[in-house]
Amino acid sequence: MSEASPLRASDFDYELPPEAIAQTPPRLRDSCRLAVVDRAARRVRHVRFRDLDGFLRPGDLLVLNDSKVLPARIPVRRASGGNAELFLLEPLASGPLPVFLRPAGRIKLGEALAPLQDPEAGAFVLEQRRDDGVFLFEWRGKRPWSQTLLDKLGLPPLPHYIHRERLPAKAVAARDKLRYQTVYARLAGSVAAPTAGLHFTTAMLDRLRAKGVECASVTLHVGAGTFQPVKSELLRDHPMHTEACEVPPETAKALADCRKRGSRVIAVGTTALRTLESCAQADGSFSRGWIQTRLFIMPGYRFKCVDGLITNFHQPRSTLLPLVAAFWDREGVRELYRDCLERGYRFLSYGDACFFQ
């Protein structure tokens, strides 16, 4: 199939065995496996993430997504006595809270769900059930809804393919709270982690800076839509989800300086890459302030500023596989995924990583 042919979701499908999906983080953040892809030579080396500095050069600019993950999963109890879970899509919304409810059952308008972490704090009351499967809840409690309450009542928003008990043991919950967050997270707003960054430690970043590798930050608040598969057969028909992102002025300057010295811009994660490409202007500058992006990158896309990409392995038929294929090519990505599965790599959020250079 030529690149001029219509791109289909089935072009980005593959068999992902359940046992290949990482259920827990590695013991040490930087101990995961890393497939280093030399795109020009079509050569792959298999190392550990801690070996990344051997493939970076002085002057390279690593661009990190500093969005902080919010504890968007809230275990609740229904009036009938059964347990359920709210997944808050916009945890800090000022009005009704949009939510995925599992299990939804025959919930009725006006039904109150009490948070299991503190049933006396108040209740989430169903206001509206939308046709797209989203529920709108109003918080009615002793105190107004706030990030403080969210931090008290919520759990890390692990994706659906990571299985935990409905009420995880405290040790498990504490581990996920620590490990499903990058060490450089700063600005709260995501309901999913920018997972490529989970592998970095503070010591590793210090070591890279000492070598002459520069670091800069962008922000893209990751939404739950990142886990949604492509639902239309033709990629061009897929309604891409919207996310808020920004390239701050100091990062825009770092990018310009990197270009002047002829060094590489390396995006840490697809979220950092989408932010850079969404905010980049034709004259080489970047948009000012926050923007809403629905950029869907697929083969044929012309990259404006990114030279390298560090990323995890992605779900079949996700919107991120076409992005990776656009950065390299479909056949190369297909072969890479097949080879890494055979080698026992761990896939998805808590799994291993790739570096495309």
In a domain, 172, yes or no: no
Q: Kindly give the pairing relationship between strand 43-48 and strand 67-69.
A: unpaired
* pLDDT for res 167: 45
Q: Does residue 204 have a pLDDT over 70? A: yes
In a domain, 350, yes or no: yes
In a domain, 194, yes or no: yes
| CATH code for the domain of 210 | 3.40.1780.10
103 and 246 in one domain? no
Higher pLDDT, residue 315 or 239:
315
188: nearest Cα among 157, 226, 143: 157
Mean pLDDT, the chain, whole residue set: 93
HEC profile of the chain = CCCCCCCEHHHHCCCCCHHHECCCCCCCHHHCEEEEEECCCCEEEEEEHHHHHHHCCCCCEEEEECEEECCCEEEEECCCCCEEEEEECCCCCCCCEEEEEECCCCCCCCCEEEECCCHHHEEEEEEEECCCCCEEEEEEECCCCCHHHHHHHCECCCCCCCCCCCCCCHHHHHHHHHHCCCCCCCEEEECCCCHHHHHCCHHHHHHHHHHCCEEEEEEECCCHHHHCECCCCEHHHCCCCCEEEECCHHHHHHHHHHHHCCCCEEEECHHHHHHHHHHECCCCCECCCCEEECCCCCCCCCCCCCCEEEEECCCCCECHHHHHHHHCCHHHHHHHHHHHHHCCCCECCCCCEEEEC
Name the token pair of 265: 């811009």
Which of the residue ranges 229-233, 241-245, 332-336 would you say has the lowest mean pLDDT?
A: 229-233
Q: Does residue 3 have a pLDDT over 90? A: no
348 and 286 in one domain? yes
pLDDT band at 239 (very low <50, low <70, confident <90, very high): confident
* pLDDT for res 81: 86
What is the average pLDDT across 60-83? Answer: 94
In a domain, 21, yes or no: yes
* pLDDT for res 170: 58
| CATH code for the domain of 108 | 2.40.10.240
Q: Which domain holds residue 79?
A: 73-154
Place of tokens 């270009």: 259
**CA–CA distance, 35 with 48 (Å, rounded to integer):** 8
* pLDDT for res 174: 81
113: nearest Cα among 88, 90, 133: 88
- Exposed (0-12), middle (13-18) or buried (19+): which is 8, by Cβ within 10 Å? middle
In a domain, 2, yes or no: no
Residue 47: how many other CB atoms lie within 10 Å? 14
pLDDT band at 165 (very low <50, low <70, confident <90, very high): low
**CA–CA distance, 71 with 152 (Å, rounded to integer):** 9
**CA–CA distance, 111 with 22 (Å, rounded to integer):** 36
185 and 134 in one domain? no
219 and 344 in one domain? yes
In a domain, 166, yes or no: no
* pLDDT for res 1: 42
In a domain, 36, yes or no: yes
pTM for the predicted model, two decimal places = 0.93
In a domain, 13, yes or no: yes
